[in-house]
Chain A
């Protein structure tokens, strides 16, 4: 019963998630990886059904389905992590004149560092 619940819930949750992403924006182009992931969700539902009769075969089908789904979720997660951890580069920096130097030479000295 455990494999059935696991495969079924995963298939429904991820399938519904990708489905909403596919049709969230009207007129937006379809992402082929999302379609691959959607087919993976469908395969996972088949695996859930198979797990009641042939658990070992269902496990292999589920593994293939999960790999299909990772085609979409993998890059999406990587982008999410990159967006969260990425520190944006400052596009401008204030350079103050140093004590004991003329403002012009200080600015030139500072700007030469970049």
Chain B
């Protein structure tokens, strides 16, 4: 009997040892916690680039897709050189910031819109540090510590205004210029990267033309909680639309956008 017990023990422990050993032999990658980034208002661009690089290569998780060449563009060494050419009239800093906080607004040809909204997981300081790092990859760093300043403290300038349009950092409140009409809102938020209007725009989301058939309630939900409904024929892209567009509008802007969309007829009508 003891022989049986011994054999069973050896088999069980040997199997466990094998699996544990193999798992310990392969490359060990720990998922780090993004550390709280404290940047003073006199931080130099070099300090921001260094912080951004650490984030890019580590806890930001960016290299999971960027750098492999298949899931997302390889941006190391080239992001700073190419960013200003992506969207006409959009500066490098604006484009990179938008790529991080509203990634579906512009998707590079040949890639799927899988980039998450990083403002959900990173602080403003971390996002601006990433922008600084990406600018440094073949371009000139224009991000300054002033970009970190929240609106209203008298120090907001440059990038924050450029990126947000109203002197606030994205994700911290309305970012569309006060008084903007529905068409300007659509332009500002980059809606046409995915939706089409008058035959122009993207095809990742349902066209705006013909939305008069949808209820105002449905449209409101579509903006505030895009995961709640998926338009027929667009199941493949479900989950693509960022849920934070509502946060970037004032209540009046939001309602004017809903009203505008609810009046758009289908082509030919």
Determine if chain A interacts with chain B. Answer: no
Instruction: Identify the A interface with B (CB < 8 A).
Output: none
A-binding residues in B (CB < 8 A): none
